[in-house]
Amino acid sequence: MSVTKRTATNVLLDTALKNFYGAVEEMRLDDNLIAILGNSERKLEVSVPVEMDDGSIQVFKGYRVQHSSAIGPSKGGIRFHPDVDADECEALAMLMTWKCSLAGIPYGGGKGGISCDPLTLSMKEKERMSRAYAARIAPIVGTWQDVPAPDVNTGGQEMVWFMDTISKLHGRVEPGIFTGKPISYWGSKGRTAATGYGVATCGLELLKAVGKDPKGVKVSVQGFGNVGSYTALTMANAGAKVVAISDVTGTYHSAKGIDIKKAFEHIESHPKKLLEGFSCDGCEKIEEIFSVDADLFFPCALEGAVNEKTAGKVKAKWIVEGANGPVTPEGDAILDQKGVIVVPDFLANSGGVIGSYFEWAQNLAGYFWTEEEYNERLMHIMKGNFKLVWDYAQSKKIKMRRAAFMAAIQRVADVVKLRGVFL
């Protein structure tokens, strides 16, 4: 039997499928397992009617994809963004399967979102949209079924609306269905910074592996949302010089190094949490971040940022992917020719889902940890996972991305084989 390979016009899904098929071919994985893991278990599309502040009704498209539940409940974020569609959600759900597997936590992969521009919505419109979406996906999510979390343009407030809506539908409190909640309402201390902290931990472990002291390293960070901001802060606290940060308003560069705490204060005071108007000693606003003179680059914005048009501009020797799928296969090939080491997304940014697992476990137990306990456990897992992939890549003489895929896919494949196919 030979497996018919799936193809996709969506760049992110095409990237996810190419990485998957490339890894399983090298692994010589059984064709039956390839056929199962190359497809998602469930894809849901819903209409989300929202009463706007002017009294009109606008209907948005919503999605939830569950790629795999072989190891445990599906896990993955919900994003509010104009580009959200079924293919994007499927690609990210598949990546979440490998991310959870590699992290060694008992989850499969899921992803969802609403196609909208949240910047044009009032707070009340966002609440009505969030609650309508939660009601639409309620039949397929649950503590032991599918556990969503925050993603692009969503956070603790949206998770509270989701949880509250489904709790009211069920007639009981359901804290374990959603993670990324505020500390004051079933949230977990340490969760907000977990993804960025994990990304930076991988960056620091990479520097250790190549024999570099963080204090002599220049860093650039694309994206200054939750992931990028805490990545930059952690690297700065470790002694690295952050010379460039960026968001949708532009790239802010200073050869002297940027005061990241000042940048945090700026976005906290900005009505839309943006870097717009930010200034610092030696700061200049430049067109793009790729050509900045930096040793270590963290792409923490949206997917596909480092591609065939931008990869050649990158001056960094090392890249740690903070976003999901920020480097395309074409960009990867260019970086490989340049000798750039890339730490893949589902290893580097798994701090978020590991943190979600911690929150979920605490919700199930009704017992909460200190932030110190949380961070200690997170760092222990992140360091162990980095070493696993680094050592595997070195022993097989393959890139870290391929090593991570192979290790992650094998664990899921073993469980699928163990459980068998339910007819």
Task: Please indicate, yes or no, if residue 421 is contained in any of the structural domains.
Answer: no
Domain identity same for 125 and 168: yes
Please pick, among 75, 99, 111, 126, the residue that the annotation labels catalytic: 111
DSSP secondary structure string for all residues of 52-103: -TTS-EEEEEEEEEE---SSSSEEEEEEEETT--HHHHHHHHHHHHHHHHHH
Question: In this predicted structure, what is the pLDDT of residue 285?
Answer: 94
- Which is nearest to 115 in space by CA: 95, 85, 86, 152? 85
The confidence score (pLDDT) of residue 262 equals 95
The number of folded domains in the chain is 2
pLDDT of residue 346: 86
In this predicted structure, what is the pLDDT of residue 174?
Answer: 95
Claim to verify: residue 51 and residue 127 sit in the same structural domain: yes
Final residue in a domain of this structure, among 321, 348, 375: 348
Q: Kindly state whether residues 204 and 147 are assigned to the same domain.
A: no
**Same domain, residue pair 128 and 198:** no
Containing domain of residue 221, as a range?
Answer: 193-348
HSE, CB side, 13 Å, CA atoms: give it for residue 102. Answer: 34
Contacting residues for 159 by C-beta, under 8 A, at least 6 apart: 149, 150, 178, 179, 180, 181, 182
Residue 255's CATH number: 3.40.50.720
Q: What is the pLDDT along the chain (423 residues), one digit of tens a residue?
A: 577 889 888 888 998 999 899 999 999 999 999 999 999 999 999 999 999 999 999 999 999 999 999 999 999 999 999 999 999 999 999 999 999 999 999 999 999 999 999 999 999 999 999 999 999 999 999 999 999 999 889 999 999 999 999 999 999 999 999 999 999 999 999 988 989 999 999 999 999 999 999 998 999 999 999 899 999 999 999 999 999 999 999 999 999 999 999 999 999 999 988 999 999 888 999 989 999 999 999 999 988 999 999 999 999 999 999 998 899 989 999 999 999 999 999 899 999 899 999 999 999 999 999 999 999 999 999 999 999 999 999 999 999 999 999 999 999 999 999 999 874
Residues 202 and 304 occupy one common structural domain: yes
Same domain, yes or no: 105 and 134: yes
Dihedral of the CA atoms 103, 107, 112, 117 (nearest 10)?
-40
Please confirm, yes or no, whether 18 is among the known catalytic residues: no
C-alpha distances out from residue 114 to 79, 109, 148, Å: 6, 18, 13
**Domain containing residue 63: CATH number:** 3.40.50.10860
Per-residue model confidence (pLDDT) at position 152: 87
The pLDDT of residue 287: 86
In a domain, 18, yes or no: no
CA distance 67 to 50: 28
- Amino acid 324: pLDDT: 83
Instruction: Look at residue 281 in the predicted model and tell me its pLDDT.
Output: 87
pLDDT of residue 1: 55
